A and B are shown apart, each in its own frame.
Chain A
Amino acid sequence: MSADTTPTPVRSSWRMPNWLESILGQLIALGIAIIGGAILIILVGEDPILVFTTLLRGAFGNSERIAGSLLQATPIIIAGVAACIALRGGLFNIGVEGQLYMGGFAAAFVGFQFALPTGLHMLVALAAAVVAGGLWILIPAFFRARFGTNEVVSTILSNYVAILLTSYFTIDVFKRPGGWSETDPVATTAYLPQLFEFSRLNFGLFIGLALAIGFHLFLTRTSRGYDMNTMGANMKFAEYGGIAVKRNILVILLCSGAVGGLAGGVETLGVHHRFMEGFAPGFGFDGVIAALLANGSPIGVIFTALFFGALRAGSLLMEVETNASREVITVFQAIIILCVSAQILLRRRRDSSQGERRWKF
């Protein structure tokens, strides 16, 4: 083509690499949250420095507490990967909480209802959790793929059905005689192995890490991962390029739901060893937020989930030792979410205007 020496169109002065920029952004969000939290703590008449140091001590004070943080982070990592799967395919699964409940119940059911050899029993119970999570998103997924129904709304609604349905199971149908609202205990043959004597931290953590890393490799290395990533980046381009968009939408949402179910199964078999009403408050929602915070990156989810896990673990001690209640942490999280959403908005605006500017000179 033309042989003149027009400069290459690579340009723009030095810009922060994207990953550095987004980490810096999260740190700023964290800073604002700390300031906001401090103001709140002062308003309730506590010393913010004391509260925050207690929080830190509660999360990382000794090996037992660190294990506690990791324990809290485990279901959030898995639920976060579930949310990432949908996000990276250009979809939303806000129903992770519900899938987690269904998966948790299904795993418990297999755990107390059947007798199987050690290990195999656990695998069958986890498989049941996966299937239950997948089934629970089947209706939203089918309607999204077939008719384009907004999956945000349908997955949110499916949460309530799951939570109330499992409540009904535990209060009435499968209630342990004489007990609280919980099922019979799971047979020890179905337990997820614990890692330490002093903590309930269990093998589920490795399942979570393996899922996150595996999904990252899937996205970057495989043909189907390319299809999925492209759908998430530009659905119209994916459609034009001949990717089986409708079929993939169904598969992606089913996988997302299945992993959501697995999060519940891991929590049941690793921690509680039975299904209790309201056994995992908010882990699914935290997972969704962790995924959004990580911008859909499964590797990033490991870190955002660890952060949320540490907050949860630390807040226990904070509540015992200070007058600040656990709700401070909720407010703290909410401020971070606001900051991150604002960043996403700003970044979009800049990208679109720079797209315009960089279009050509």
Chain B
Amino acid sequence: MAFAVEMIGVSKSFGPVAANRDVSFGVRHGEIHALVGENGAGKTTLMNILFGLMQPDSGEIRIDGKPVVMESPRTSIGLGLGMVHQHFKLVPSLTVAENMFLGMEITKAGLVDRKAQSEKARALSEEFGLRIDPDRRIHELSVGAEQRVEILKVLARGANVVILDEPTAVLTPQESRDLFRIIRRFADTGMTVIFISHHLDEVLEVSDTVTVLRDGAVVGTRPTKELDEDSLVNMMVGRQVNFDRRERKKMSGNTVLELRDVFARDDRGLPALRGIDLEVRAGEIVGIVGVDGNGQTELSEVVSGLRAPSHGEIFLDGKAVEGSDPRHMRAAGLAHVPADRLVRGVNPGADIASNILMGRQHVAPWAKKGLIRWGKVRELARELMQRFDIRAKDEHVAVKTLSGGNMQKVVVAREFSQHMPLLLIDQPTRGVDIGAMEGIHDEIIRRRDAGAAILLISVQIDEILALADRVLVMFNGGISGEVDPANTTEEEIGYLMAGGSRSKEAAA
């Protein structure tokens, strides 16, 4: 039987750089096919070619055995393909249902039938257990929910081959498992799923077949049951990666960050933080975990000064922070790696040097008498590119042309190299490959050992467990418990994330 999707000898170069080299692989009907590889291995380019967003330099695409030319996404959608991008393409001011049916509105007498759209959206959402209110506006949703809307969008267009580009990068473990169930259901109904990832555990858990890419070429295609984590890592990076937990430190430095009874509201004006008390000491990493949407975003915004608390006090280095302004927080000693690097973390159109400069533009030796000393700035940029392994031709390269991992390294390099007493790190390795992830983790540990107080927020429980000295679990705007990362289990954390408290008896 013919493959549902087959790519034969596909090559694509960008100038002197080959993104895909003679890539051939086939996906059978009704299978979940994982495409794995490090950032820069060529996965997304390959899928963009398949989806018609780019044209290959050479090679052929076959759908159900028939050669096709993917002129544009319109062609591929017409052939039953659907793609959920890593970066969402939603209109923030429109509702979920309006986004789903954008360009293919359900009409009645020439007018958009909102009610029918909303009902159809609700039905689809319920059918696949996506738990989305179709009448919510996108800007009110969490990142995880936005992704589910993207999936709904593809479903609404009647795709039978669904391409997911790193779908779990933004999901909690629970949400990921939900997603896997959904994907499994797709496959059971005969739909084909292509799934890009670099999380080995989920690849092994969910896929039927794995194709590994390295440096733009296929290393191999194997049935998942023949693989384990070690062999997969070997295929991906050609070497072993150390996943061991790191040495904990019990430092009792002075308190750098303290939150006392902090309350805050979310964008909709609903309570998002309900009486948070927390303390981060110099030389320790405090990890925050929780199901997406339980107040982590607001906590990070309150600490960074982007959101005003409605009640409570924040102390940095023992001094109460007045008002809420990132400027004051930074002046008081905060460095901050934000969750969404494209929105806040970088100036995408500017070059690396200019992005590195942010936060230093008024400080000697990078500026003197109000003038920027670009020579010094470029020197610093080159030094940081070396130290943080930012891969680009030179410091003049625009940040928007970098891969996700390299872009994140620019943010990390800028913030970590300021040597601030407090580091707020939100999703340090979202969308970053294993090699880069290790490097960023090493730098986090290095900052801690140098005496920084670190508040680490991540949807990746593994990451928190590997790095944090203490772990706080958030539920419904409060802290539902603290666990010792050395002696806890995912089950215990999962229990707290679901709202179970150790003081349940007391509450009962």
A residues in contact (CB < 8 Å) with B? 1-14, 221-227, 230, 233-234, 236-237, 239-244, 353, 355-361
Contacts and interface: CB of A to CB of B under 8 A. Distances in A.
A10 B17 contact: yes
B330 A236 contact: no
Most A-side CB within 10 Å, residue of B42, B46, B306, B372: B372
B91 interface: no
Contact of A223 (B53, B87, B347, B370): B370
A12 B18 CA distance: 10
Interface size band for B: 35 or more
A356 B87 contact: yes
Nearest to B438: A1
B265 interface: no
A7 B17 contact: yes
Contact of A359 (B403, B409, B436): B403
Given A6-B41, A9-B40, A223-B367, A240 B326 contact: yes
A10 B399 CA distance: 10
B359 A241 contact: yes
Interface in B396-438: 397, 400-406, 409, 433-436, 438
A6 to B, nearest CB: 4
Nearest to A237: B347
16 contacts: A1-B388, A1-B435, A2-B436, A8-B17, A9-B406, A10-B393, A14-B15, A221-B371, A226-B357, A236-B344, A237-B358, A239-B306, A241-B326, A357-B48, A361-B19, A361-B41
A358 B400 contact: yes
Given A4-B38, A6-B38, A360-B403, 12 more contacts: A1-B435, A2-B434, A8-B393, A9-B392, A10-B397, A11-B17, A221-B372, A226-B361, A233-B347, A242-B327, A359-B87, A360-B44
A361 B44 contact: yes
Given A241-B358, A243-B327, A361 B216 contact: yes
Contacts of A244: 327
Contacts of A243: 327
Contacts of A3: 435
Contacts of A7: 17-18, 40, 215-216
Nearest to A6: B40
A355 B45 CA distance: 12
B85 interface: yes
Contacts of A361: 12, 14, 19-20, 40-46, 216, 403
A2 B241 CA distance: 10
A355 B348 contact: yes
B441 to A, nearest CB: 10
Contacts of B354: 226
A111 B25 CA distance: 81
B372 A222 contact: yes
B180 to A, nearest CB: 24
A257 to B, nearest CB: 23
Given A243-B327, A357-B53, A361-B20, A223 B371 contact: yes
Interface in B432-491: 433-436, 438-439
B391 interface: yes
A227 B438 CA distance: 33
B173 interface: no
Interface string B323-349: 000110111000010100001111111
Contact of B439 (A2, A240, A359): A2
Contacts of B330: 241-242
B237 interface: yes
Most A-side CB within 10 Å, residue of B89, B326, B331: B326
Contacts of B436: 1-2
Most B-side CB within 10 Å, residue of A1, A8, A13: A1
B182 interface: no
A236 B45 contact: no
Contacts of A224: 370
Contact of B392 (A10, A12, A223): A10
A150 B351 CA distance: 30
Interface string B65-90: 00000000000000000000111010
Contacts of B357: 226
B70 to A, nearest CB: 14
Contacts of A222: 370-372
B266 interface: no
Nearest to B396: A10
A241 B20 CA distance: 37
A252 B374 CA distance: 24
Contacts of B54: 357
